Structure 1
Amino acid sequence: MKLTLIALTSSLIALSFVAQAEEMPGMKMDAMTMDAKPIEQPSATALVADASGTIKAIDSSRQKVTIAHGAVPALQWPPMTMGFRATEAQLAALKVGDKVNFKFQQEGAASTIVSIDVAK
């Protein structure tokens, strides 16, 4: 009887954890491994934000530009230096040290330049 009660209690506790994980916003459970995984957000929900900063590095082979930017109120971000995806045409118009104003799309952990202009 005690063994059955322990097994039943263990099962209920495990089900409680699964139910809580399923209710967590932005998380889903993988049916095979029971690992929590981030939910992919569709592009329609990607946020476009404005920022300004200074070009710190350009990596044309990876289509990345590193920008030290100011605060981004739309995302509640403090000033920081980070990499952004960019097109070849966008990168060709930039050089290290340029002061820029730009718009970028934030989708999950990916940040992609939508438009970028060298400040005058």
Structure 2
Amino acid sequence: MKAILRALAIAALVVPFSIHAADALSEGTVKKVEAAAGRVTLAHGPIENIGMPPMTMMFKVKDPAMLKKVKEGDKVRFRVEEIGGTYTVVRIEAAK
């Protein structure tokens, strides 16, 4: 019984951090939107989940419809994942 309680206590501590890390958003500024090409250029801080340092870079977007929500100069929070060997924005939203 003690082993079960200990395992539950550890899971209660670890799971929230794992979920947060899996959903972590990075911050940046939209420099250019290329909706027809499905690309966005972002000046961004570190992108922890892929180990990328701050820089300005063009990214492919998973769904070009996401680009309707942003324009040049917008401060954004976003998520990049490596899909098929390409760094791809899978989520983007206005920074609050």
TM-score normalised by structure 2 residue count: 0.66
Higher alpha-carbon Rg: 1
Q: Percent identity?
A: 39
Distance 1:62 1:49, change over 3 A: farther
Task: Write the letter of the residue equivalent to 1:85.
Answer: K
**Are residues 1:101 and 2:77 paired?**
yes
The one of the two structures with greater contact order (alpha-carbon pairs below 8 A, sep at least 6) is 2
Distance across 2 between alignment mates of 1:110 and 1:116: 17
- Answer yes or no: is the 8 Å Cα contact 1:48–1:104 preserved in 2: no
Task: Give the secondary-structure state (helix, strand or coil) at the position aligned to 1:92.
Answer: helix
SS of residue in 2 equivalent to 1:77: coil
Q: Give the gaps of 5 or more residues in structure 1.
A: 1-46
Report the TM-score when normalising by structure 1.
0.54
Aligned residue pair count: 74
